[in-house]
């Protein structure tokens, strides 16, 4: 998912719309904006793309100078209109709206215990747990900030939150900092966004990343930084660099396009291939393909083009839709590949659908050899943190050798980037464990506890 927040701007709703538009690649199943003024919270949300949800009059009702928003990509919580965020909770003791990016690994435990205490959940979303925890702890003399801190400290897993309350905009990042979240400034207003590309679009200046374990409270008095937990080992999601984020975004000061390009260069150092052209799979692997070409000296060519009116194939819910999606989405440029030995660079292999189809497509278009190089290590373990790499059985590389995967996708050779090579190429500080990255889907070593009852996206 992608989340966005803004405090203290007369065009809060409009700017959130632009922000969500820039984050659209992070989720296409639903979108929502909640604004706040002295009359309370106002919400517009629905299933579909940002452009479809916020039509004509939407903005007339979204009054107020602060807002939060989300674009939705379903993993664990299930689809359906009631799960579109921000979730709004109206109460006589203070209303609240919440948007979340990530996945809680102890949501089931917390939900069961809250239900035993009388909570009734309106959605199947793990996000709702936070609202109940905040309300639960509302007894006694705790300030709202303390209640939120207490609630956040009970959550385990990956979470970047924006919470809009009567008292301000609250922004939180999980203790491992698994999902990106940046703070920026637009004139006198504060903005937060999953990715910095949203800041560029609205003309805001990026200030810094929200720190692991940090709770930021923004209101008319200004910004206060607090923390609800000690920072754990930093573990930024590697797949954000590899695939998820937009090339023009920066995470912790590292530009995504440049990081991918260095991954491509690193690949060209790790494998030598005799070939005539290098081509990338648009859009997410173009950067790595350019890097591979530069380092190997094999010319980069536009061997595949993308129909821009088809969404991200991976995010299509079923496998048959995904397969048709690949065909509608990509076409070979015959003049580039016919009679050529082609290096095809992709960012990652998940189920193998894309690679298999493209190898065949390139061969049908006359390529004499197709060498597949991948800008990440093999994905072998499920993600519990909000990326739809769900079960081992769906991952083509789980329990298979590289040669077996190569044969399944029909390539002449297959090379994955080494994990060390990827870390080095991305270039985060190397004094931290795994350079402060999560590598769990590549290694099976998870940065948080994984609860026995953690529900995999797939199982719901």
- Three-point CA angle 6, 9, 12, nearest 5°: 60
Three-state DSSP at 153 gives helix
Q: Sketch the per residue contact string, 328 through 347, with ligand 5GP: x for CB under 6 A, - otherwise.
A: ------------------xx
Instruction: Assess 98 for contact with ligand SF4 (CB under 6 A).
Output: no
Q: What string of DSSP letters covers 313-327?
A: GGGSSSHHHHHHHHH
Give the one entry of ligand 5GP, Mg ion, ligand SF4, none that residue 383 binds, where binding means its C-beta sits below a cut-off of 5 to 8 angstroms depending on kind: ligand SF4
Question: Which 300-319 positions form the footprint of ligand 5GP (CB under 6 A)?
Answer: 312, 314
Under rule CB under 6 A, residue 77 binds ligand 5GP: no
- At its nearest, how many Å lie between ligand SF4 and the CB of residue 350? 10
Nearer to Mg ion, 242 or 337 (CB): 242
**How many residues does this entry show for the chain?**
460
For residue 313, state whether it binds Mg ion (rule: CB under 5 A): no
Positions in 429-448 near ligand SF4 (CB under 6 A)? 438, 440-441
Active site residue 1: yes
Residue 182 to residue 227: CA distance in whole angstroms: 16
Interface segment toward ligand SF4; rule CB under 6 A; list 84-92, 335-343, 385-393, 416-424: 385-393
Question: In this chain, which residue has its C-beta nearest to ligand 5GP?
Answer: 314
Tokens of 61: 């009702």
CB 85 within 8 A of CB 125: yes
- First-last CA distance in the chain: 18
Does 417 interact with ligand SF4 (rule: CB under 6 A)?
A: no
- The CA distance from 346 to 283, in Å, is 9
| Interaction of residue 284 with Mg ion, rule CB under 5 A | yes
When the beta carbons of 296 and 390 are compared against ligand SF4, the nearer one is 390
Using CB under 6 A as the binding rule, the residues of this chain from 350 to 409 that contact ligand 5GP are 350-355, 387-389
Which contacts (CB < 8 Å, 24+ apart) does range 250-255 have? 250/182, 250/196, 250/206, 251/180, 251/195, 251/196, 251/209, 252/180, 252/209, 252/428, 252/436, 254/426, 254/427, 254/428
Question: In the complex, which residues of this chain contact ligand SF4 (CB under 6 A)?
Answer: 178, 237-239, 383, 385, 387, 389, 438, 440-441
Residue positions annotated with a catalytic role: 1
Question: In the complex, which residues of this chain contact ligand 5GP (CB under 6 A)?
Answer: 239, 243, 281, 284, 312, 314, 346-355, 387-389
């Amino acid at each position: 998912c992608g989340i966005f927040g803004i405090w203290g701007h007369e065009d809060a709703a409009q700017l959130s719309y632009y922000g969500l538009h820039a984050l659209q690649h992070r989720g296409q199943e639903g979108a929502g904006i909640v604004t706040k003024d002295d009359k309370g919270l106002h919400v517009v949300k629905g299933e579909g793309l940002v452009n479809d949800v916020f039509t004509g009059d939407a903005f007339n009702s979204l009054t107020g100078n602060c807002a939060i928003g989300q674009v939705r990509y379903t993993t664990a919580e299930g689809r359906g209109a009631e799960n579109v965020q921000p979730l709004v909770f109206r109460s006589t003791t203070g209303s609240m709206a919440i948007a979340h990016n990530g996945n809680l690994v102890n949501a089931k435990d917390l939900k069961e215990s809250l239900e035993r205490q009388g909570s009734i959940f309106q959605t199947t979303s793990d996000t709702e747990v936070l609202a109940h925890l905040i309300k639960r702890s509302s007894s006694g003399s705790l300030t709202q900030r303390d209640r939120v801190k207490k609630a956040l400290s009970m959550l385990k897993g990956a979470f970047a939150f924006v919470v809009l309350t009567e008292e301000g905009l609250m922004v939180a990042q999980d203790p491992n900092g698994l999902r990106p979240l940046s703070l920026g400034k637009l004139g006198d207003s504060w903005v937060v966004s999953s990715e910095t590309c949203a800041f560029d679009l609205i003309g805001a200046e990026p200030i810094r990343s929200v720190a692991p374990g940090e709770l930021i409270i923004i209101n008319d008095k200004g910004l206060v930084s607090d923390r609800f937990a000690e920072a754990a080992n930093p573990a930024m999601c590697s797949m954000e660099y590899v695939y998820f984020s937009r090339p023009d975004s920066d995470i912790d000061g590292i530009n995504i396009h440049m990081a991918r390009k260095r991954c491509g260069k690193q690949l060209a150092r790790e494998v030598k291939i005799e070939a005539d052209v290098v081509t990338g799979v648009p859009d997410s692997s173009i950067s790595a393909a350019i890097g591979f070409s530069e380092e190997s000296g094999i010319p980069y060519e536009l061997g595949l083009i993308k129909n821009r009116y088809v969404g991200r194939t991976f995010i299509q819910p079923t496998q048959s839709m995904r397969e048709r999606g690949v065909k509608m989405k990509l076409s070979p440029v015959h003049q580039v590949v016919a009679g050529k030995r082609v290096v095809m660079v992709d960012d990652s292999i998940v189920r193998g659908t894309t690679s298999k189809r493209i190898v065949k497509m390139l061969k049908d278009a006359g390529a004499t050899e197709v060498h597949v190089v991948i800008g990440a290590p093999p994905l072998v373990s499920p993600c519990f943190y909000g990326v739809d790499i769900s079960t081992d059985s769906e991952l083509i590389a789980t329990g298979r050798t590289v040669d077996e995967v190569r044969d399944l996708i029909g390539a002449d050779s297959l090379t994955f980037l080494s994990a060390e090579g990827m870390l080095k190429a991305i270039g985060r500080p190397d004094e931290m464990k795994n350079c402060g990255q999560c590598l769990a889907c590549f290694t099976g070593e998870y940065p948080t506890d994984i609860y026995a009852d953690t529900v995999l996206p797939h199982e719901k």
